Each structure stands twice: as C-alpha cells, then as structure tokens.
Chain A
Amino acid sequence: MSDVSQPAAHPPVTDWLNDFDHTDPQWTEDPFPIWNELRAASPVVHTKRFLGCYLPTTYEAVREIANDPEHFSSRRIIVRDARPEVTQNAAPPITSDPPVHKPAKQLLLPPFTPDAMKKLEPRVRAICNELIDGFIAEKQVDAAARYTKHIPVRAIAHMLGIPESDSDLFINWIHMILELGIKDENLLLQAVHEMSDYFRTHIEERRKNPTDDLISYLMNARGKDGQPLEEPHVLGSLRLLLIAGIDTTWSAIGSSLWHLARTPADRERLVAEPELVPTAVEEFLRAYSPVTMAREVVKETTVSGCPVKPGNMVLLSFPAANRDPKMFPDADKVVIDRRENRHAAFGLGIHRCVGSNLARMEMQVALEEWLKRIPDFRLDPAGSVTWSQGTVRGPRQLPFLLGKAM
C-alpha cells in the first residue's frame, strides 16, 4: 500500500508566463513570487501542459470563473496529465454542475452547519490533547507527522462512523488521488476502487445494524424524487467527504503552525490573546490557502477580457486570488488581526466548500490547544520543511523544537 512508485517528472519550468506548471518544485516550494509575476503580466495565463490549462491570477478573474458554471464545468476538478472519460457520480456535488448540483449539495449541508460542528468540537479538542500528550515530553517533534496530519482524519472518521484507527489507510488513498494521481491514472483508479470497497463493507454492516453517523445519514437520505440515493451516489459522496476533509485541513493547520513557529510576535500575541485566534485563522486561511480547484472550459467566453477556449482546463487558484493586492492591502503580509477579509480559501459561488465550518472549527481548536500547552516552539534548523505538491498545498514535514530557545 505505501510502496506506490513516484510518477514521471515534468520538465522544469523556465518560462512561467507561457508554460506554468503547478507541480513544478519551484511552485511547490514558494509559489507566491510566481503568482505575483504572472498577475503583473495578465489576469489569465495559459500553459500547454496538462493538455492545455488556464490560470486566473487575480481575485476578480477567479470570482468570475467560480460564478460561471455555464462556461466552466466542474465535471473535472483536478488538473492532470490525462483527460480520461468523465464518470457519472464521481463525487457529487463537487463534480456536479447545475441543475444536478443543488440537490446533491443540500443533502450534505445539514450535518456541517456551525451548530453541528459545536457538537463535534469536544471530540476534536480531545483528539488534539491525546496527540499532544504523545510528544509534549520531547524536545524535537515533527508537528506534521505527529499532530496536524491526524486531527482532520480522526474528526471526519468520527463523523462518518468509521474507526479512527483506519486513519493511515485514508491518508494513503488521499496521497494517491490528490498527488500521485495527477501523473498516474492507475494509482488514482486503484485508490478510488479501494475506497469504494471499504465503504461498501461499512454500508453493508449498517443495513444489519443501523447507526447514528454520516454513512447512515446518506444511506437514509432521499433524493429529489423521494427515492433513496443510488449506491454510486452514496459512495461518491462518501469518497468526497473523506478526501476533501483530510489533507486540506491538515495543510491549513500545518501552515498556521509553520507561520507561528517562525513569527514569535504573532505567536506571543495569540498566546496572550486567545480570543484573537478565530480572526487569525481567517488570515492564515487567506495567506496560506491550501486548496486549488479546477474547472473545464466547456463554452468559449472571456475572463477579465481574456479569451478562453473549450478543451482547456482551468486551474482555479483560490490561493493566488487571496494574494491579490488589489483585493487585500499588504497581500503578502500576514496580518493576524486583519479586519476585512473576504478571502476565497473555501471557494466562491455554488461550490463553496461543504466542510468550511468543520475546517474552521478544527483549525481554531488545533491552534488553541497547541498554544495552551506549547506556547514556545520554533523551526528546528537541523530539519527541513517539505510541502505537498499539486491540488492541496501544506507542510508534510514540520520539524519543531519545543520549549523556550536557550
């Protein structure tokens, strides 16, 4: 399971303006100067890689595309080397367009309201503390491997009603789908099949012994026609909840801790003013937005005056939009008490992230509990921070030294 091979590498980028590649190591390591360069050149740029793909570079261009499902379809939402045939019910509602989208989305919304998240919050607080108990006595810790990685996966497992101890299985599937799958179709399909088999077993169990969790909720849900959902829809939505809910928030928590590890003034302020954490979380979401979505152009149109043609994908970079200085003064500065913050980290328009309230709660709780128990920490100069590639960006290795600097 864990010995999946690394897919073929792309040639390194030398001309970002005409040949961008979001899987290039330079983009993975430090995308911000690249976005600034491209934004200064044009609101929309294009690459021939990935069989043709646009990148909107401004907040406005990203908003235009997100609000225009007629020209920009969600039937493909990951920019990859291949463009395999689209499957029905891949992962509704994220892969759905109007009019199919709305009922599929409404089905998933009630379990993720802020009130529902309040009920889950004590479990997440306990998960955070269990994890911290495991390493607080140590001086050196990889906060990604020991903390951030485990919080969202356990929280969503708890909601779905599947064992939190299966976490490593889920993390491996997500790695295969979101990272390796960009360049290797077979790994992606393998992960999708394994996930579907896994959930089929859990659905079967619930037919005999119904439970009070998200899997049972979806099994009992009714479609627009009043009939139970067909199994492919249930499986697609379950796969979506597992994939979407994990390395996204793991990345967001990790980037926040990474920032605090190297910014003592912000760390000290949040320790002294924990009530500022929710505002700071919004700023971390803006400055280090983890998720880049995609669309497929299905009808010719223009975006911010630039022509776009069908047959191309669009890399819908909410992270780049959130660094647009036209929308955010001092866009490249992290201002933890930023008052006006219309960031697009959870998307804009009809595809707003279903789990945004869950992610926000997890981020707040994860930072609050960490800062309460570990007010002093910094990057370990002997280690190196590594970042995930592709659709979701966040630290995958986060070597910290705990305690006051000597």
Chain B
Amino acid sequence: MAERLKVHVDPDKCQGHARCKALAPELFELDEYGNAHEAGDGTVPAGLEDKAWLAKSNCPEIAIDVIEE
C-alpha cells in the first residue's frame, strides 16, 4: 500500500511562477494574481504522486511541500 501524499504551497514563498499549475494542474489552483495554492485540502489522488514530486522539484521558490502521511 503506497503512502498517501498531500501537497502544500507556502503562500509567503510563492511568487506566482505557476510551474506547479503547468505540471500538476489537478493538484494546484491559482488565484486572481496567479499565485498558487493546493487544490482542496491538498490530498494527492492515487496515480498523481509523480506529479506532486515533479511540481515540488520545479518550484523556483521552494514553496511546495509534499507531505507523506
């Protein structure tokens, strides 16, 4: 059984590069300024784990956490 993942965007670090939205559109949403936050409570649906890690490793501001629960 794979671990369940959650993503979280630190709103103080996010500068709206929007890389996460491009790479994992299911997991992130953008506000009217283009700054990101996690979709819903950040739970990563099964099968999208790779995208969560990809988003984290492409955020220039190191604003994304992937939490293993």
Residues of A within 8 A of B (CB): 106, 109-110, 112-115, 278, 282, 339-344, 346, 348-350, 352, 356-357, 360
Contacts and interface: CB of A to CB of B under 8 A. Distances in A.
- For the complex of A and B, 9 pairs with smallest distance between CB atoms: A352-B15, A109-B33, A113-B34, A340-B57, A342-B60, A110-B32, A114-B18, A109-B34, A341-B58
Contacts of B54: 339
B62 to A, nearest CB: 8
Nearest to B58: A341
Nearest to A106: B33
B30 A113 contact: yes
Interface string B11-42: 00001111001100000001011100000000
A342 B59 contact: yes
A356 B60 CA distance: 13
26 contacts: A109-B32, A109-B34, A110-B32, A110-B33, A110-B34, A113-B18, A113-B30, A113-B32, A113-B33, A114-B18, A114-B22, A114-B34, A115-B30, A282-B58, A340-B57, A343-B60, A346-B17, A348-B15, A348-B60, A348-B61, A349-B15, A349-B61, A352-B15, A352-B17, A356-B16, A357-B18
Contacts of B30: 113-115
Contacts of B59: 342
B9 to A, nearest CB: 14
Given A339-B57, A342-B58, A352 B16 contact: yes
B15 A350 contact: yes
A278 B61 CA distance: 20
Contact of A342 (B18, B22, B33, B57): B57
Contacts of B60: 342-344, 346, 348, 352
Contact of B34 (A112, A340, A343, A348): A112
A248 to B, nearest CB: 16
Contacts of B34: 109-110, 112-114, 357
B16 A109 contact: yes
B49 to A, nearest CB: 14
Nearest to B54: A339
B58 to A, nearest CB: 6
Given A340-B58, A352-B17, 15 more contacts: A109-B34, A110-B34, A113-B33, A113-B34, A114-B18, A114-B30, A114-B34, A278-B22, A339-B54, A342-B60, A344-B60, A346-B60, A352-B16, A356-B18, A360-B22
Nearest to B61: A348
B50 to A, nearest CB: 10
B57 A114 contact: no
Nearest to A349: B15
Nearest to A112: B34
Contacts of A282: 58
